[in-house]
Structure formats: C-alpha cells, structure tokens
C-alpha cells in the first residue's frame, strides 16, 4: 500500500482544532497521517464567542453530544442577533435564525407583509416571527418537530467559550489519533524548484515534514501569507473598523438567547451571554477613537463588573487572494477576517474544512482543479458576507464623523443592485452557495429602514379582509406559543447546566 499522505496543521486555535477533529472523524488513517503543531508560548487569539446555526451541523458531523458540548464550553443558546440603535437611534431589530410568518397564499409571506404594511394594516415585521418574539421575552425551546407548529420554523446557534471549545476538540481529536506537536515554528522550509512547503522547523530543532499544510496560525498567516506571499485583499474601503477591545464581565440577570450589537459613535459593541460570564467588546475605527477611549467607553457600558483588563486586537478586514496556494490551505484568521457583526468567522472555518475534506488530494501531487474549486467557493463565501456586513453600515443616521464616512462608502455593485431590486418589489434572490438567505436580508434591510416601495404582484390577489385575518391569527398564534415557552435561563439550567469554572 502507498505511504499515507502527510497532513500538517499549523496552529491550535479554534480553526486548528476544528480541522483536526474533522480529520480525526472523517479520514482513514491508512491514507492520511495528521499532525498539529502549536505553541503554548504564543497562545491563541482568545476571542470568538458567537456562532451561527451551522455550528450544530458541524458538531453533528463529528458526532458530538449537544449537552456535553454545551457543558464543556459554558454555552448558551442563540436565536439571532439584536441590533440596537442601528438605522435610527432608539430603534432595535433582530436578525433571527428563522423565517418570517408562514405560507398564506401564492406569494411568500414577506410580500404579503409589504402589502399590508403599505395598507397600514400590518403589525411590525418581528411580530410575525417566532424566534424574534421568543428572543425578546428571553424565552427558549428547541425547534418543534412538526412542520405545522409555529415553533418549528427556526434554527439556533450557540454562545460559547471558543477557548474551551478548542480545548475539548483537542482532547477529542487526540483520543482519535491526531498527533500534537508542541513548539514554536522558527523556520519554514520550501522546495527550491516549486516553492512548495516541505517542512516547518521548531525552536527545539525538530522538523515536521508534510505533503499538505493547513495554515491555522492566526493573523500571522505564517505559511500562506508570510512564506508564500499570498496577499490580503484589503476591504477597508468598505468596512472602516480595524480594532476591537474585548473584556469579559460578571454574568447579569439578563440572560438573553441572542447576541446584542449596539451601535456606538465609532463602531459598535457586542454583548454575548455565556453560562459563566458575559463576553463584551467594542469594534471601532482607530481613526476615530484611541484604544484608551474605546476601553473606557466599553467599561462604561457593561451590565456587570469587568473580570479582566480590556484587551486590544488589531485587524485588517479582508481575505487572502487565494485561500489555497501551492500545498498550503489557510483557514481561520490566517485566511482572512471580517468583523464579528454577524458572527461569521467560525462558520468560515467550518466551510473551509468541509471543502477541504471534499477536495482533499488522494496523492501528494495536487491537481490545480482542486485548488481552483476551493478558492472559488471560499471567495463566494467571503464576498457574500462582506456585502451583508456593508449593508448594516450604510443606512444609519450619520451622527458622528465615523458614521458620516460609513454611510457614504461606495458600495460594491453586487450590493447596490441587490438593494435596488429589494426597494422595487422586495425581491431577494436565493443563492446556492454562501451565507444568508432571503429571510436574513429581509430582516436586516427592513431593520435598517429600507422597505420595498410596493409588494410583489402575486401578493395582490388575496382579498384584503382574508389577508388581515391571517395576519392577526398568525400574530396571536406566535404570542401564545411564546407564552408557553420556558425562559432561556430555565431551559439551560434544566438541559445543559455547566459546572462552575
Ligand atoms: P488563533 O486563535 O490566533 O490561533 C493561532 C494558532 O497558531 C495558535 O495555536 C498559535 O499558537 C499558533 N501559532 C502561531 N504562530 C505559530 C508559530 N510560529 N509556531 C507555532 N504555532 C504558532 N468568530 C466567531 O465566529 N464569532 C465571534 O463572535 C468572533 N468574535 C471575534 C472578535 C474579535 C475581536 C476577533 C479578532 C475575532 C473574533 N472571531 C469570532 C474570530 C475567532 O476568534 C477566530 O476565527 C477563531 O478563534 C479562529 O482563530 P484561529 O484559530 O484562526 O487563530
């Protein structure tokens, strides 16, 4: 039998250990030998607490038990993201992990809502969405199994301690044959003819050779960026924030089943409730605020005592021009970074892992067609998220120097056209690859104050009194279902109580 392909993962943050765990679960050790190199001395980025519903799919893919996972990571549930003061100050909306309404007639529910909204007979859009109504009452339950139940049309994600997640995945992966190598990489050896990475050399002198390298080295992008010179495509002309200050605080009584993103004068602040503490951060633009000012503003806006000194992180928004180059595949921060406004980083790691497993070479030589497809898919993922993030920034009151610049950016044509189509009759194209289906766009567009001028023509057909009756019934059904839903606090305490840290 041929020698196994040597796969070396560089970095043991969330990205590295997620990748290692997936390899442990899905690769035959006779064909692939997988090693992970990490340096405790360097450590990990140490932030990243809000996720998307796809994370549950990833855990299911590995075969992790949900309750054990939530206990190990101090996790809570997440039904969506609440945006406070976005659009106009004093307003709030939720981007839910679920759909609006339920089928009423030939058109989709949203089109009927637009029609009733213009007739002056509709309640606000959130009243027709179970996960939003439940979130705002701090209620949570698992989705119902019967499709006709109002409480079945949503999914959920987690707030978790990403450091604990990486640690538990490490235990899990090591128990399944992944070899961990401790040490600081001081040199990367390349083949003189092809430039391919041959090996990484550690400070101890140890040499770790491989056929394929997965760069999970964080912002350093040690292999893809530093060694192979693949540049970052810089998106700061659209996304103006380049820094964050983060601090954990004592958990407050307000145990929300959602992440909160509050608009601030030079960016926005996150609030993420875990079982053992609350995660907080201010994402800001250095051109508008100093680190000290950002830290002071963050500390002044906590709902519990700070548990550590605020920590500053710098970043450039964007992605590497090719995520897979030569024999190096980058994932996590080594491949790119987009601010955590829509909690997308760990999702991007997951997508990269799934693509890598699908396209994994069967022999040491790599067919360029594999690389091309990987890069195409990752480009689509990044581009879609970029446009979605920009959407949040452009439709706001320009009430500070930062917001004047943010509202005035020259948006990518792909986003411009999407918004204009939506303004016309509420059309949002569903796409096959990439994040954010129509309900997500509808939630954020309407939340930011962009409402279609008229409804889809199909929505005109239903008699007005029938439409009115259906909408009233729906809002009532949702309110009743929420009333019967336990509090998030109670649900977590019963379902997955984590031990005190
Ligand atoms: P890191 O955690 O930085 O790990 C890098 C690894 O490489 C470490 O193990 C390090 O030791 C190793 N390494 C580096 N150099 C060497 C060397 N020379 N030798 C040996 N080892 C080396 N994501 C979300 O999904 N949701 C969020 O809410 C969220 N919030 C975020 C907020 C901020 C401010 C930031 C910056 C990021 C956030 N993220 C979020 C992103 C998330 O933190 C990361 O995507 C995720 O943790 C993956 O990080 P990583 O593993 O790529 O990098």
Instruction: Note down the domain range covering 325.
Output: 5-49+161-235+317-383
111 with 141, same domain? yes
How many angstroms separate the Cα of 164 from the Cα of each of 47, 334, 439? Answer: 11, 20, 32
Do 83 and 261 contact (CB within 8 A), yes or no?
yes
319 tagged catalytic: no
Distance of CA 36 from the midpoint of ligand 1 (Å): 15
Per the domain annotation, does 182 fall within a domain?
Answer: yes
State which ligand 1 atom lies nearest to the alpha carbon of 217. 7
| Model confidence at 434: pLDDT above 90 | no
Distance of CA 331 from the midpoint of ligand 1 (Å): 10
Residue with tokens 């939720």: 94
State which ligand 1 atom lies nearest to the alpha carbon of 49. 28
257 with 229, same domain? no
Phi, psi of 129 (to 5 degrees): -135, 115
Single out the residue in 314, 348, 368 at which a domain terminates: 314
What are the tens digits of pLDDT across the range 361-394? 998 889 999 999 999 999 999 999 999 999 999 9
Per the domain annotation, does 443 fall within a domain?
Answer: yes
Per the domain annotation, does 277 fall within a domain?
Answer: yes
Mean pLDDT of the region 119-140 = 96
Per-residue tokens: 40: 């405790």
Average pLDDT across the chain, whole number: 96
Cα 473 to Cα 475: distance, rounded to the nearest angstrom: 6
208 with 342, same domain? yes
pLDDT at position 2 is 80
Q: Please name the residue whose Cα sits nearest to atom 43 of ligand 1.
A: 48
- Asked whether 389 lines ligand 1 (CB < 6 A), one says no
Per-residue tokens: 200: 């990484």
Of 162-166, 330-334, 429-433, the one with minimum mean pLDDT is 429-433
460 with 431, same domain? yes
Per the domain annotation, does 68 fall within a domain?
Answer: no
Q: pTM of the predicted model, to two decimals?
A: 0.97
State which ligand 1 atom lies nearest to the alpha carbon of 43. 11
Per-residue tokens: 356: 């890598």
- Asked whether 15 lines ligand 1 (CB < 6 A), one says yes
Looking at the 3D structure of the chain, how many domains does it have? 3
198 with 329, same domain? yes
| Model confidence at 310: pLDDT above 80 | yes
- Asked whether 101 lines ligand 1 (CB < 6 A), one says no
Closest CA to 449 of 111, 99, 92: 92
pLDDT at position 1 is 67
What are the tens digits of pLDDT across the range 70-101? 999 999 999 999 999 999 999 999 999 999 99
133 with 200, same domain? no
Distance of CA 472 from the midpoint of ligand 1 (Å): 47
How many angstroms separate the Cα of 257 from the Cα of each of 70, 124, 131, 473? Answer: 14, 21, 10, 26
289 with 321, same domain? no
- For residue 92, the tally of other CB atoms under 10 A from its CB is 15
| Model confidence at 343: pLDDT above 90 | yes
Do 200 and 10 contact (CB within 8 A), yes or no?
yes
154 with 176, same domain? no
Single out the residue in 314, 340, 356 at which a domain terminates: 314
Per the domain annotation, does 389 fall within a domain?
Answer: no
Distance of CA 418 from the midpoint of ligand 1 (Å): 32
Residue with tokens 């839903």: 485
pLDDT band at 432 (very low <50, low <70, confident <90, very high): confident
Cα 225 to Cα 234: distance, rounded to the nearest angstrom: 13
Per the domain annotation, does 264 fall within a domain?
Answer: yes
Q: How wide is the angle at C-alpha 182 spanned by C-alphas 219 and 323, nearest 5°?
A: 30
Per the domain annotation, does 407 fall within a domain?
Answer: no
204 with 108, same domain? no
Cα 447 to Cα 434: distance, rounded to the nearest angstrom: 22
To the nearest 10 degrees (0 to 180), the angle between helices 368-394 and 345-359 is 160
14 with 42, same domain? yes
Q: 6: which strand partners? A: 33
Q: Please name the residue whose Cα sits nearest to atom 38 of ligand 1.
A: 48
Instruction: Residue 177: give its domain's CATH number.
Output: 3.50.50.60
Residue among 56, 78, 201, 418 flagged as catalytic: 78
How many angstroms separate the Cα of 462 from the Cα of each of 97, 116, 120, 127, 129? Answer: 28, 11, 16, 21, 21
222 with 321, same domain? yes
Do 303 and 249 contact (CB within 8 A), yes or no?
yes
Q: 154: which strand partners? A: 98
Q: Are strands 311-314 and 179-182 parallel, antiparallel or unpaired?
A: unpaired
Residue with tokens 């007979």: 121
Per-residue tokens: 420: 């204009």
Question: Coil, strand, or helix at residue 406?
Answer: helix
pLDDT at position 76 is 98
Single out the residue in 253, 280, 314 at which a domain terminates: 314
- Asked whether 47 lines ligand 1 (CB < 6 A), one says yes
Distance of CA 50 from the midpoint of ligand 1 (Å): 14
143 vs 433: which has the higher pLDDT:
143
Per the domain annotation, does 64 fall within a domain?
Answer: no
274 with 340, same domain? no
State which ligand 1 atom lies nearest to the alpha carbon of 47. 43
What are the tens digits of pLDDT across the range 403-420? 999 999 999 999 999 999
State which ligand 1 atom lies nearest to the alpha carbon of 222. 15
Q: Please name the residue whose Cα sits nearest to atom 39 of ligand 1.
A: 48
What are the tens digits of pLDDT across the range 176-185? 999 999 999 9
- Asked whether 54 lines ligand 1 (CB < 6 A), one says no
């Amino acid at each position: 039998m041929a020698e196994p392909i040597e796969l070396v993962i560089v970095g043991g943050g969330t990205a590295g250990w997620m990748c290692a765990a997936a390899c442990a679960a899905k690769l035959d050790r006779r064909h692939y030998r997988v090693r992970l190199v990490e340096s405790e001395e360097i450590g990990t980025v140490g932030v990243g607490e809000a996720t998307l519903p796809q994370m549950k799919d990833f855990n299911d893919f590995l075969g992790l038990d949900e309750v054990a996972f939530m206990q190990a990571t101090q996790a809570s549930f997440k039904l969506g993201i609440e945006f406070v003061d976005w659009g106009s100050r004093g307003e709030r909306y939720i981007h839910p992990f679920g759909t609006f309404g339920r089928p009423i007639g030939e058109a989709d529910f949203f089109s009927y809502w637009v029609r009733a909204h213009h007739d002056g007979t509709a309640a606000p859009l959130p009243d027709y969405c179970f996960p939003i109504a439940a979130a705002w009452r701090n209620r949570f339950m698992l989705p119902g199994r019967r499709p006709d139940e109002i409480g079945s049309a949503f999914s959920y994600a987690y707030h978790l301690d990403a450091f604990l997640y990486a640690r538990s995945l490490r235990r899990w992966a090591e128990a399944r044959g992944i070899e961990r190598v401790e040490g600081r990489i001081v040199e990367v050896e390349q083949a003189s003819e092809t430039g391919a990475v041959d090996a990484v050399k550690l400070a101890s002198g140890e040499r770790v050779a491989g056929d394929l390298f997965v760069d999970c080295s964080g912002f350093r992008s040690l292999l893809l960026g530093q060694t192979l010179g693949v540049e970052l495509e810089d998106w700061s002309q659209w996304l103006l924030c380049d820094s964050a200050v983060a601090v954990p605080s004592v958990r407050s009584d307000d145990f929300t089943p959602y992440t909160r993103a509050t608009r601030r004068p030079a960016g926005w602040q996150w609030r993420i409730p875990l079982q053992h503490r609350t995660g907080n951060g201010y994402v800001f633009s250095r051109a508008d605020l100093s680190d000290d000012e950002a830290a002071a503003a963050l500390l002044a806006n906590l709902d519990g005592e700070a548990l550590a000194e605020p920590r500053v992180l710098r970043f450039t928004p964007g992605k590497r021009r090719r995520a897979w180059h030569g024999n190096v595949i980058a994932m996590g921060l080594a491949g790119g970074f987009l601010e955590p406004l829509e909690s997308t980083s760990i999702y991007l790691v997951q997508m990269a892992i799934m693509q890598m497993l699908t396209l994994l070479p069967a022999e040491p030589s790599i067919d360029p067609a594999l690389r091309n497809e990987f890069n195409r898919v990752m480009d689509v993922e990044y581009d879609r998220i970029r446009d979605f993030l920009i959407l949040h920034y452009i439709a706001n009151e320009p009430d500070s120097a930062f917001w004047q610049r943010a509202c005035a950016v020259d948006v990518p044509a792909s986003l411009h056209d999407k918004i204009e189509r939506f303004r016309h009759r509420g059309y949002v194209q569903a796409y096959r690859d990439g994040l954010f289906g129509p309900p997500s766009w509808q939630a954020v567009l309407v939340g930011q104050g962009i409402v279609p001028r008229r409804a889809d023509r199909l929505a005109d057909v239903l008699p007005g009194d029938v439409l009115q009756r259906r909408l009233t019934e729906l809002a009532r059904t949702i309110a009743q279902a929420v009333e019967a839903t336990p509090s998030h606090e109670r649900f977590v305490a019963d379902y997955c109580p984590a031990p005190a840290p």
